[in-house]
Amino acid sequence: MPQILGYMALVVRDYDEALAFFTQSLGFVVIEDSLSKDRLGNDKRWVLVSPPGSGGTNLLLARASTPEEESRIGNQTGGRVFLFLHTDDFWRDYREMLARGVKFREEPRHEAYGTVAVFEDLYGNKWDLLELKHQAKG
């Protein structure tokens, strides 16, 4: 039986500010944004975003609802790079992200596996923008 990762949860402070960053700064598309009730009757949103054209895992924007969850906003992995945004054209996406105000923590570099640079999301989580060498340009 084949398996895939369906969603990756990212703890956020506010749904709307997170949606604005991911759609406006990174160019992601909204897959779903729906309202539901949790077990206690509180309103919760189910918010999924994805890079354009992605057929892979979607990012679930999950608003922190406890003090412990709030303490993890921006540092879900202890300061390590958390997510890897693959691209078929590093320089196109790098320039677009810079123009949209995305904060890169380093200059782009060429590694044996491809071209990469670390950037931050609006909460400070570290991401890699990465064009793998073995990917064919579309």
Alpha-carbon distance 63 to 67, whole Å? 12
Task: Specify whether 99 is located in the same domain as 53.
Answer: no
pLDDT single digits (tens) 120-130: 999 999 999 99
Q: What is the pLDDT of residue 135?
A: 58
Buried b (16+ CB within 10 A) or exposed e, 44-56: beebbbbbeeeee
Task: Specify whether 28 is located in the same domain as 46.
Answer: yes
For the entire predicted model, the pTM comes to 0.88
Task: Specify whether 69 is located in the same domain as 84.
Answer: no
The whole domain housing 100 covers 79-138
Q: What is the pLDDT of residue 134?
A: 79
Q: What is the pLDDT of residue 43?
A: 75
36: left (phi over 0), alpha (psi -120 to 50) or beta: beta
CATH of the domain at 24: 3.10.180.10
The last residue of one of the domains, among 26, 48, 73, is: 73
Q: What is the pLDDT of residue 44?
A: 82
User: Mean pLDDT, 10 residues at a time, over the chain (138 residues)?
Assistant: 88 96 97 80 86 91 94 92 95 97 97 97 97 72
Q: What is the pLDDT of residue 86?
A: 95
